[in-house]
A and B are shown apart, each in its own frame.
Chain A
Amino acid sequence: MRRFTMAAAATLLFAVAAIGAIASSAQAAQLEVRLVPVAPVQAGQPTELTATVTDAGVPAPGISVTFYTTETFARVTGDAEIGRAVTDASGVATVTYEPRETGPRNIRADATAKDGTVTKASASITVEGSLEQQYVQTAGIRIPGVNSWLIMGLLAVVWGTLLFIAVTVIRIAAAGWADGPVDAAPAAGPRMDSARQQGGGR
């Protein structure tokens, strides 16, 4: 009798555990995430990424959704978080994404259920546009015609002067060749006007 009771209890425990496991997996499987397809976006332009979360076909509000993209930095590839949002009454979570690189991008949305279960969905978007600098500084004082142009103007003057000197060196060489071969030059060393010593020689 006692043996029978123990066997019945074990069977009952097993049955309860099995039913529990089946029930919990069924509950996790009911949460479904779907990334709303996005048309090709322009690099540097903000776009909205939207995920809809349903629980057994019914919109699931209050679910935290984290959006990721795949990035490579210093030869290490991994997930870079774009942002997080919580689903509204319609089960919709939205974040703003401003891609900085062109080409196909993988986007992933992870919905975390109340019990900690994570359900994932992935999609690919295409980022179009040029590879030019995307970041535009808005802070600081801006004086029209100055700022960067002042630096470029100064550089143009300096490098223009250096170019003038390079051209003059070529003219010096031409003046030497015009007066005869170098080997015919006097053995004595050259001598410059002492005016140069007096401060400029102009």
Chain B
Amino acid sequence: MEAIGPWRQRLEDTTYAPIEHTSKVYWAWLAFLLAVISWGGYAYYVQLRDGLIVTGMRDRISWGFYISNFVFFIGISHAGTLISAILRVSKAGWRTPVTRMAEFITVVALCCGAIFPIIDLGRPDRLQNVILYGRWQSPIIWDVVAITTYLTASITYLGLPMIPDLAIFRDRTTGWRKWLYSVLAVGWIGNTRQRSMLATIIATMMILIIPIAVSVHTVVSWIFAMNLRVGWNSTIFGAFFVAGAIFSGVATLVIVMAILRKIYHLEEYILEKHFIYLGYLLAAMALIMIYGNLSEYITTGYKLEAGEEFHFRELFLGQFAGYYWYYFIGGLVIPPLLILMPWTRNIWGVVVAAFLIDVAMWIERYFIVVATLRVPLMPYEPRNYGPTWVEWSIIAASFALFGLLITIFVKVFPLLAIWEITEQREAAMESPAALPAPATAKHGLAIEHGGQS
């Protein structure tokens, strides 16, 4: 095995490379993202100027793309919590190269998602009323408090393990970057007291953030489930939403990992086995989601009250049938098959599965919101909802913002957790029995505890 010194140097160089070198493609990509965001900004200006009449939302179907997108982004924010905190708590050694990306996806997704209820308000100045006149008994207030707390905790959880890596960058840079990393590294020199204190607060955070994350998506589900409405009046919505959030969060992590691995040449650290392990998680979550669907719809369908019958017809046979069956077959059945079948159990197979899952989970949020609101509460003709160019533009801008924040992040912050990966490597060297199988092994299925290949 290669000596730790040169190996670590190469790891630092690989992690620092995105900061040192900026290609023309990077600037072109940045310009493209900014153009999409600007167009979305213009669409939002039109909405502010003319009111929500420029959207497809009306009094009967008063939530649409915006709230669907809000739930989707809050969902994928669970990537960081699951991969980082749960795998840390469970001492899963293979997690180290993917934790940083997972934690950052959490923060970025929360920032992107949290703006959508404000956009959906139509009058953003009314947000102050939530603070001035909010009531603790309202799920809206629970949502605001939970998301604010989760965002604060996620930023903290992203920043704490980054401190030692920022100190490495501080020691390598000059000029404004050195100043920036000096501030962010909070005087880290790695002495015993600092290490002890940092270890304590990281351990505290990894325990604290798990219930916070679970509570966030539970509360998001209660925005719907606390209503006496067909389709939302469910007791399993909290668990169902948390499972769906982890599902889409891991899928997003797989996609982001694949892209960054390719662009920044991280093949030595992010191995095929990481994709496959995450693929196994996706397959397990897909089975849980299938179970959740069956449990929810069979119990409701067996009783089949009048409103439920309309909802079921719309969902399974009517206007939303295409969406639902894509979600069920394309998002819950095919992906685990892709992951579990030997000939597609590879990076591409898992990435394709993850893409199918993310599309399916966005669609699921859409029909949870819109198909339910289409059920008439009084004797009137069911109304339709169709997003306008304003909504499409703002949704596109949100995904561009997601891409932009990640693009900027990799140019400023260490993409890999250098010290964690190094410690993992050192631990593996000290106990050769725990050394992993060669990285080139087909499908990388040797399950090892610790160490990078």
Interface residues of A (CB under 8 A from B): 74, 133, 137, 140, 147-148, 151-152, 155, 158-159, 161-162, 164-166, 168-177, 179-180, 182, 184-187, 189-202
Q: Which residues on the B side are within 8 Å of A171 (C-beta)?
A: 197
- The 5 A-B residue pairs whose C-beta atoms are closest, nearest first, are A201-B199, A176-B187, A190-B190, A148-B136, A190-B164
- Cα distance A166–B212 in the bound complex, in angstroms: 18
**Which of A152, A162, A174, A185 is within 8 Å of B156, CB to CB?**
A162
Q: Which residues on the A side are within 8 Å of B160 (C-beta)?
A: 165, 169
- Cα distance A201–B160 in the bound complex, in angstroms: 14
Query: Within 8 Å of chain A (Cβ to Cβ): is B202?
Result: yes
In the bound complex, do residue A172 and residue B164 qualify as a contact, i.e. CB atoms below 8 Å apart?
A: no
Stretch of B351-359, B371-379, B417-425 that contacts chain A: B417-425
Interface size class of B (residues with CB under 8 A): 35 or more
Task: Closest B residue to A197 by CB, please name it.
Answer: B423
Asked whether A190 and B167 contact (CB < 8 A) given A158-B212, A176-B188, A197-B427, the answer is yes
In the bound complex, do residue A192 and residue B186 qualify as a contact, i.e. CB atoms below 8 Å apart?
A: no
Q: A184: shortest Cβ distance to chain B, in Å? A: 8
Query: Within 8 Å of chain A (Cβ to Cβ): is B115?
Result: no
Query: Within 8 Å of chain A (Cβ to Cβ): is B137?
Result: yes
Interface contacts (Cβ under 8 Å), in number, total 147
Q: List 16 other contacts, CB 8 Å, given A147-B136, A198-B91, A201-B202.
A: A137-B135, A137-B137, A161-B208, A164-B201, A165-B204, A172-B188, A172-B197, A172-B198, A190-B168, A190-B190, A190-B194, A192-B190, A197-B93, A197-B427, A201-B199, A202-B203
- Cα distance A176–B164 in the bound complex, in angstroms: 12
B window 243-283: CB within 8 A of A: none
Stretch of B31-39, B145-153, B385-393 that contacts chain A: B145-153
In the bound complex, do residue B212 and residue A175 qualify as a contact, i.e. CB atoms below 8 Å apart?
A: no
In the bound complex, do residue B419 and residue A168 qualify as a contact, i.e. CB atoms below 8 Å apart?
A: no
In the bound complex, do residue A201 and residue B137 qualify as a contact, i.e. CB atoms below 8 Å apart?
A: no
Q: A192: shortest Cβ distance to chain B, in Å? A: 5
In the bound complex, do residue A172 and residue B89 qualify as a contact, i.e. CB atoms below 8 Å apart?
A: no
Query: Within 8 Å of chain A (Cβ to Cβ): is B171?
Result: yes
Query: Within 8 Å of chain A (Cβ to Cβ): is B177?
Result: no
- Cα distance A166–B165 in the bound complex, in angstroms: 19
Candidate in A133, A152, A162, A180 with the most chain B CB atoms within 10 angstroms: A162
- Cα distance A55–B418 in the bound complex, in angstroms: 92
**Which of B145, B153, B424 is within 8 Å of A197, CB to CB?**
B424
Q: Which residues on the B side are within 8 Å of A200 (C-beta)?
A: 199, 203
Query: Within 8 Å of chain A (Cβ to Cβ): is B440?
Result: no
Asked whether A162 and B200 contact (CB < 8 A) given A191-B190, A191-B423, A199-B91, the answer is no
A interface: dominant SS:
helix
Q: Which residues on the B side are within 8 Å of A194 (C-beta)?
A: 423, 426-427
Q: What 1/0 mask marks residues of chain B from 104 to 125 whose CB sits below 8 Å from any chain A CB?
A: 0000000000000000000100
Query: Within 8 Å of chain A (Cβ to Cβ): is B99?
Result: no
Asked whether A182 and B91 contact (CB < 8 A) given A155-B149, A172-B198, A194-B423, the answer is no
In the bound complex, do residue A165 and residue B198 qualify as a contact, i.e. CB atoms below 8 Å apart?
A: no
Interface residues of B (CB under 8 A from A): 8, 12, 88-89, 91, 93, 123, 133, 135-137, 142, 145, 149, 152-153, 156, 160, 163-165, 167-168, 170-171, 182, 185-191, 193-205, 208, 212, 418-420, 422-424, 426-427
Task: Closest A residue to B91 by CB, please name it.
Answer: A199
Q: A178: shortest Cβ distance to chain B, in Å? A: 9
Asked whether A162 and B153 contact (CB < 8 A) given A133-B135, A171-B197, the answer is yes
Q: B59: shortest Cβ distance to chain A, in Å? A: 14
In the bound complex, do residue B200 and residue A168 qualify as a contact, i.e. CB atoms below 8 Å apart?
A: yes
- Cα distance A158–B186 in the bound complex, in angstroms: 23
**Which of A151, A162, A195 is within 8 Å of B199, CB to CB?**
A195
Task: Closest B residue to A158 by CB, please name it.
Answer: B149
In the bound complex, do residue A165 and residue B205 qualify as a contact, i.e. CB atoms below 8 Å apart?
A: yes
Q: Which residues on the B side are within 8 Å of A155 (C-beta)?
A: 145, 149
Candidate in A151, A169, A174, A182 with the most chain B CB atoms within 10 angstroms: A182
In the bound complex, do residue A161 and residue B204 qualify as a contact, i.e. CB atoms below 8 Å apart?
A: yes
Q: Which residues on the A side are within 8 Å of B135 (C-beta)?
A: 133, 137
Task: Closest A residue to B189 by CB, please name it.
Answer: A185
**Which of B133, B153, B186 is within 8 Å of A176, CB to CB?**
B186
In the bound complex, do residue A189 and residue B418 qualify as a contact, i.e. CB atoms below 8 Å apart?
A: yes
Task: Closest A residue to B171 by CB, please name it.
Answer: A187
In the bound complex, do residue B137 and residue A148 qualify as a contact, i.e. CB atoms below 8 Å apart?
A: yes
Could you list some 26 contacts between A and B, CB below 8 A? Answer: A133-B133, A148-B136, A148-B137, A164-B204, A165-B204, A168-B201, A169-B160, A169-B186, A170-B186, A172-B194, A175-B197, A176-B186, A177-B187, A179-B189, A179-B191, A180-B189, A186-B190, A189-B12, A189-B165, A189-B190, A191-B419, A191-B423, A192-B198, A192-B199, A194-B426, A195-B199
